[in-house]
Amino acid sequence: MFLKPTFFRGGIHPREKEITSDKKIEQMPEVGTYRVTTLQHIGVPATVMVKVGDQVKKYQKIGRAEVKFSAFIHSPCSGKVTHIKKIHIKGREAEEITIENDFLGEEFKRKKLQSFTPKKLQELVDDLGIVGLGGATFPTHIKLEGKLKTIIINGVECEPYLNADNRIMIENTNEILEGIKILMTTFEMEEGIIGIEENKAEAIEKMEEGVKEYQEIRVQKLPTIYPQGGEKQLIKALLKKEIKSFPRELEAITLNVGTILAIYRGVTHGTPIVERIVTVSGEGIRDPKNLSIPIGTPIENILDYVGLKEDTADKIIACGPMMGHEIGETDVTSKGMNGILALGKGKFPPKLPCIRCGRCVDVCPMGLLPLEYDRLAKKGKYHQMEKEFSLSSCIKCGSCEYICPSQVPLMEAIFLGLEKGRDSDD
């Protein structure tokens, strides 16, 4: 029997929630105030380039990347800077820039790229603040280094509820393919592979029809299993090879479909990332949608627009239910926020002691022992989590916690170990 390629170890089959799979992308109406943070990427926060009282235009830079491992930040609207304050994002210090929208839509005009070389394209991607839009937010210009032979496009989107990438592939097929072609031509790559889980039939059909015009690009169907969209898992499935750190070991690059769309629009229109596609869904939402939402939009405004069923919603989650985190209505959208979910009451059963059943070990795609992380975290033995059980190899997919019959907070232990372990001598 022919088996579709996958990563061959662990993984789970979370229940699918196709609430928004057939809902076209809509534009979120403008709001009066945007709050844009300077840390929307992996790396060093951007440095604020404006001051209170400044008038800014849409697409204007308001945050500068001072080092390579950072990303520029741009204004999502035209208006006036009314407040700048220090904030903390997941324990890290950053700044938040508040812009009062004047609703004039005045744009900062940017020059389009006239000639293509690897260096110029890399500089443009850097200048436009493009990061991984699948949720990881890795600065994309860093990936565009060295010799590249293969480009892998991640169209998996395997978390429940989320449909942002699915709708992008359906509605922006030609832009995605042209974006891939631009990268392949500029960097003289030999092949392009678009990986899509087989439960996305319409997206597969659209992309397969589209690639007929592109000899070097092909679509590969993948089994519906989580976390098929993890970078290491995707490379294992498509190239039959394992990587220790980054795809460049294989002269390869992996990019999310949303990131490809951002690159295409950056090259053709000169536009930076000031908005992204977000799935707003869950049992606690009256009118679930896939929305194009400006970066820095308050969650409260979004929930008002789609209708929050307060009697049903238990928690608001940013991103997906597997790798996401709880947020409040006063939080704002960011480049990495591909989902806003209002999950219903009863989705979060009480947490009980570990019964050592080993199910978390069975599903771990990296072959780790998650139950040991919980045991050591409770004892404050953070250094041992890495020394004895290779904590840094964890891809933070959440499969272990999902499958746990006792609902042990394994992800809490993992994040605690990663944060505390660096400075801990036990």
pLDDT, one tens digit per residue, over 223-256 is 988 888 889 999 999 999 988 888 889 999 999 9
Centre a 10 Å sphere on the Cβ of residue 112 and count the other Cβ atoms it contains.
11
Tell me whether residue 244 is in a domain: yes
Residue 204 has pLDDT above 60, yes or no: yes
Centre a 10 Å sphere on the Cβ of residue 349 and count the other Cβ atoms it contains.
9
CA-to-CA distance for 78 and 55, rounded, in angstroms?
Answer: 8
Residue 192 makes CB contacts below 8 A (sequence gap 6+) with 150, 151, 152, 153, 180, 184, 214, 216, 217, 218
Contact predicate 185/116, CB 8 Å: yes
Average pLDDT over residues 402-421: 87
CA-to-CA distance for 204 and 227, rounded, in angstroms?
Answer: 19
**What's the pTM value of the predicted model, to 2 decimals?**
0.91
CA-to-CA distance for 174 and 185, rounded, in angstroms?
Answer: 16
Which of the four pLDDT bands, split at 50, 70 and 90, describes residue 154? very high
Say whether both 132 and 252 belong to one domain: yes
Domain end (from 269, 291, 324): 269
Q: Which residues pair with 318 in a beta bridge?
A: 325, 340
Tell me whether residue 205 is in a domain: yes
pLDDT given for residue 338 in this prediction: 96
Tell me whether residue 371 is in a domain: yes
Residue 1 has pLDDT above 70, yes or no: no
Contact predicate 152/252, CB 8 Å: yes
Say whether both 265 and 367 belong to one domain: no
Residue 426 has pLDDT above 80, yes or no: no
- CB neighbour burial string for 360-380, b if at least 16 within 10 angstroms, e if fewer: bbebbbbebebbbbbbbbeee
Range of the domain at 162: 118-269
Say whether both 136 and 263 belong to one domain: yes
pLDDT given for residue 111 in this prediction: 77
Say whether both 128 and 228 belong to one domain: yes
pLDDT given for residue 2 in this prediction: 37
Say whether both 157 and 263 belong to one domain: yes
Tokens representing residue 232 in the block: 């290491």
Tokens representing residue 184 in the block: 């392949």
- Number of residues that make up the chain: 426
Domain end (from 269, 303, 327): 269
CA-to-CA distance for 235 and 193, rounded, in angstroms?
Answer: 10
CA-to-CA distance for 245 and 92, rounded, in angstroms?
Answer: 24
Look up the CATH number of the domain holding residue 164: 3.40.50.11540
Amino acid occupying residue 140: T
Domain end (from 269, 289, 324): 269
Give the range among 21-30, 121-130, 300-309, 417-426 with minimum mean pLDDT. 417-426
Say whether both 375 and 262 belong to one domain: no
Compute the mean pLDDT over every residue in the chain, rounded to the nearest whole number: 92
Most distant pair of Cα atoms in the chain: their distance:
67
Tell me whether residue 274 is in a domain: no
CA 227 to the chain's CA centroid: 13
Tell me whether residue 256 is in a domain: yes
Between 345 and 152, residue with greater pLDDT: 152
Residue 54 has pLDDT above 90, yes or no: yes
What pLDDT, in 10s, does the model give residues 381-391?
A: 999 999 999 99
Query: End-to-end distance of the chain based on CA atoms, in angstroms?
Result: 51
At residue 374, φ and ψ (nearest 5 deg) are -65, -45
Tokens representing residue 376 in the block: 């050591």
What pLDDT, in 10s, does the model give residues 255-305?
A: 999 999 999 999 999 999 999 999 999 999 999 999 999 999 999 999 999
Tell me whether residue 320 is in a domain: no
CA-to-CA distance for 339 and 318, rounded, in angstroms?
Answer: 6
Say whether both 262 and 368 belong to one domain: no
Tell me whether residue 154 is in a domain: yes
pLDDT given for residue 198 in this prediction: 92
Between 9 and 289, residue with greater pLDDT: 289
DSSP annotation of 160? S
Say whether both 249 and 380 belong to one domain: no
Say whether both 254 and 388 belong to one domain: no
Contact predicate 122/145, CB 8 Å: yes
Helix axes 173-186, 201-210, angle to 10 degrees: 50
Residue 241 makes CB contacts below 8 A (sequence gap 6+) with 235, 250
Residue 16 has pLDDT above 90, yes or no: no
Residue 246 makes CB contacts below 8 A (sequence gap 6+) with none
DSSP annotation of 284? T
What pLDDT, in 10s, does the model give residues 309-318?
A: 988 888 999 9
Nearest to 318 by CA among 293, 299, 301: 299
Centre a 10 Å sphere on the Cβ of residue 88 and count the other Cβ atoms it contains.
9
Sign of CA dihedral 116, 122, 125, 131: positive
What pLDDT, in 10s, does the model give residues 366-379?
A: 999 999 999 999 99
Tell me whether residue 73 is in a domain: no
Number of domains observed in the structure of the chain: 2
- Within 13 Å and on the Cβ side, how many CA atoms surround 31? 22
Amino acid occupying residue 135: G
SS3 at position 362: helix
What pLDDT, in 10s, does the model give residues 326-374?
A: 999 999 999 999 999 999 876 667 788 899 999 999 999 999 999 999 9
